[in-house]
Chain A
Amino acid sequence: MWFPVYKREIGAYLHSPVLYVIGGVFLFLVAYFSLGMMVEFSDVYTDFNMRQIYGMGSMNVTEWVIQGFFGLLNFLLLFTIPLLTMRLFAEEKRNRTFELLVTCPVRDGEILAGKFLSCMTVLLFFLGSCFIYPLLVDKFSEPEWPVIATGYLGLFLAAGAYLSFGVFASSVTENQVIAAFLTFGGLLFFYLVGDVTSSREGLLGQVSSVLSIRQHSAGFAKGVIEIRDLIYFASFIAFFLFLSLECLKIRRWRG
């Protein structure tokens, strides 16, 4: 029964100008900075003096461009996803369509799955259309394809994690602005927490480096798949989807 919900959500995205604005800006930023990185790489690569200045005897397109590309996408998702997830539950609650939905014979989990997967589909399109840049790099250079593959895997996992947090934020409020800002703030926290405090010794440092999304994504962009990173993302997604489901249930119990 999740499929009708999924279908409706996809329709709602496609009928709203929000998706096209977000998509347009996202793709513009990806294009500008990806192409910029490629141009910069080729400038530096062809100029021996610059290579000396940058301290690189041998330059690697994978390290230079591909890693940067994945870092860029990951960073842009931080801003994009809150805007995609904010409406999922908040809008339905505000418009009172939620009452209709929960009195239909459909489980809370199915509603959640439909909504989560619809947003994931939208992101698949966003990230899929960015695939043109690795192809472009491949045309002029020789990037390492396994790294691109793991990089994309990491990207989807990160997107799933951001989404699950966004879905959760949208399920606690009926105000879309609050949902978006909660998501943005929360994601920024998980993104940066390792950078600030992981160098500290003791428990705080350890915990913050365990929580850091950025540190767990870094491996994928280098072509490394580590079990603990996979576990991290899987449990992050599961945890926030579980919280969202509980929020829906609390509403049932409190009315």
Chain B
Amino acid sequence: MIHVREITKIYGKTLAIRDVSFQVERGEILGLLGPNGAGKTTTIRILTCHTPPTSGTATVAGFDVGTQSLEVRRRIGYMPETAGLYEDMTVSSFLNFTAEIKGLDRTRQKKCVGAVLDRLNLESVSHRLIRNLSRGYRQRVGLAQALVADPEVLILDEPTVGLDPAQIREIRSLVTSMAGEKTVILSTHILPEVAAVCSRIAIINLGRIAAVGSPGELSRKYAPESRIAVLADGERELLQRALENIRGVVRVALQENAIRQKGLLFHLDIESPGDIRDMIPATVQETGGRLLEVYSMGATLEEVYMKAIMGEKEDVVSRLQA
């Protein structure tokens, strides 16, 4: 659905992004993850035909962002980072305006605006001026204008910045509900957000793509060690030693600060992709302890992210040295 091939953007003398390539398939939710200033917004602005790339090509639904920009813009719903809204309009007149400018005829316009007001719970404020709305509502209005023409592609630049946890959940569940139906690119620097909603991740750092893949692929690639959590009741040192003796266990760490009612929580780092959960009940019983819980944690996205980004830095440093 979206193909980005080696796009580079230079602002004056500043290199914003370099040789960025990735693809997004129809119905996929791609998380564009990276620290602030990594080039997420630049990438998005190129895809939304706001700024053309210095070199490289990008296509959306087969249309080139440079030469067929109108066709691309017809298919995209875009929510900019700090959604600028017309403060002097009411929510419904603003949405009617965006529907109209996106080429919907009068009957579809009415239907679509009604649907999007309903979907984002904006009906109660539809006659209020945008100027007087709270942050959460404004953000929802920003999302509503992106969704109003029912676009095939949805591009959201930091959609949850400045929202409270309940609102963040709301927006995330909304995005998740569109999986399969719409192609979504969501940029963020918040890791749990990506973990919660995205089916694929592109990590971007220093203007370059550091890694692309599904969360599973990335954690296998960047954090081959996996982690098992064991919650058990018993003698602390005995348990620790017994767990350390299981074959394949690299490290056992007692989680002192974890919130729990009883028992001791250990994190076991294991080296191979093999699963050792079968062996844990017996091991704990041998020490005279009582096993409460065992579960596999996988590598956290945070580890993947840090490794990908650090790898990128080392790469740059070594290239500079060479």
Q: Which of B51, B74, B89 contacts A252 (CB 8 A)?
A: B51
Q: State the CA gap A110–B145 with chains docked (Å).
A: 20
B85 at the interface (CB under 8 A from A): yes
Taken together as a complex, chains A and B put the C-alpha atoms of A97 and B86 apart, in Å, by 7
If A96-B80, A100-B84 touch, does A105 touch B52 (CB 8 Å cutoff)? no
- A103 contacts B73, C-beta separation under 8 Å: yes
Given known contacts A4-B101, A15-B88, A105-B70, A255 and B9 CB-to-CB distance under 8 angstroms: yes
Complex CA–CA separation, A11 to B90 (angstroms): 11
Shortest beta-carbon distance from B248 to chain A in Å: 52
Find residues 111-162 in chain A having any chain B CB closer than 8 Å to their own CB: none
Q: Contacts A103-B76, A104-B73; is A255 near B50 (CB within 8 Å)?
A: yes
Report the minimum CB–CB distance from B157 to chain A (whole Å).
10
Task: Evaluate whether A1 and B9 lie within 8 angstroms (CB atoms) in the complex, with A103-B48, A255-B51 already known.
Answer: no
Q: Which residues of A contact B11 (CB under 8 A)?
A: 254-255
Q: Are A104 and B98 in contact (CB under 8 A)?
A: yes
Enumerate chain A residues within 8 angstroms of B100, measured Cβ to Cβ. 4, 7
If A4-B100, A255-B50 touch, whether A100 touches B9 (CB-CB below 8 Å) is no
Residue of A at shortest CB range from B145? A100
Assess whether A200 is interfacial by the CB under 8 Å rule: no
| Inter-chain contact B80/A106, CB cutoff 8 Å | no
Known: A4-B101, A99-B50. A107 touches B70 (CB 8 A): yes
Which residues of chain B are within 8 angstroms of A95 by Cβ–Cβ distance? 84, 86-87
Q: Are A16 and B101 interface neighbours, CB within 8 A?
A: no
**Chain A hits for B121, CB < 8 A:** none
CB of A5 closer than 8 Å to a CB of B? yes
Contact residue among B74, B76, B82, B101 (Cβ-Cβ distance under 8 Å from A96): B82
A4, A102, A252, A255: the one within 8 Å of B97 (CB)? A4
Q: Is the CB of B73 within 8 A of A105?
A: yes
Residue in chain A with minimal CB distance to B88: A15
> Does B93 touch A at the CB level, under 8 Å?
yes
Number of interface residues of A (CB under 8 A): 27
Asked if B101 and A99 make an inter-chain contact with CB atoms under 8 angstroms apart, the answer reads no
Please provide the chain A residues from 67 to 126 with a CB less than 8 Å away from any CB of chain B in the complex: 92, 95-107
Contacts of B103 in A (CB 8 A): 1, 105
Q: How far is it, in angstroms, between the C-alpha of A56 and the C-alpha of B266 when the chains are bound?
A: 109
A101, B84: Cα distance in complex, Å:
10
Determine how close the nearest CB of chain A comes to the CB of B187; give it in whole angstroms. Answer: 14
Residues of chain A within 8 A of B88, CB atoms compared: 11-12, 15-16
Chain B, Cβ-Cβ closest to A94: B84
Are B51 and A8 touching (Cβ within 8 A)? no
Chain B residues near A254 (CB-CB < 8 A): 11, 51
Whether B97 pairs with A97 at a CB distance below 8 angstroms is no
- Does B128 reach chain A (CB closer than 8 Å)? no
Q: Which of A15, A101, A253 has the most CB of B within 10 A?
A: A15
- Are the C-beta atoms of B101 and A11 separated by less than 8 Å? no
Please tell me if B110 contacts chain A, counting CB pairs below 8 Å: no
Residue ranges of A at the interface with B (Cβ–Cβ < 8 Å): 1, 4-5, 7-8, 11-12, 15-16, 92, 95-107, 252-255
Chosen A-B contacts, 15 in total, with CB atoms closer than 8 Å, are A7-B100, A15-B88, A16-B88, A95-B84, A96-B80, A99-B50, A99-B80, A100-B85, A103-B50, A104-B98, A105-B71, A105-B73, A253-B52, A254-B11, A255-B11
Q: A102-B49, A252-B51 are in contact. List 18 more A-B contacts (CB 8 A).
A: A4-B97, A8-B97, A12-B89, A15-B88, A95-B84, A97-B86, A98-B84, A99-B50, A99-B84, A100-B84, A102-B50, A103-B50, A103-B80, A104-B98, A104-B101, A106-B73, A254-B11, A255-B51
Residues of B within 8 A of A (CB): 9, 11, 42, 45, 48-52, 70-71, 73-74, 76, 78, 80, 82-89, 93, 97-98, 100-103, 145
Give the 9 A-B residue pairs with the shortest CB-CB distance, closest first: A96-B84, A255-B51, A97-B84, A105-B73, A4-B100, A105-B74, A103-B48, A4-B101, A15-B88
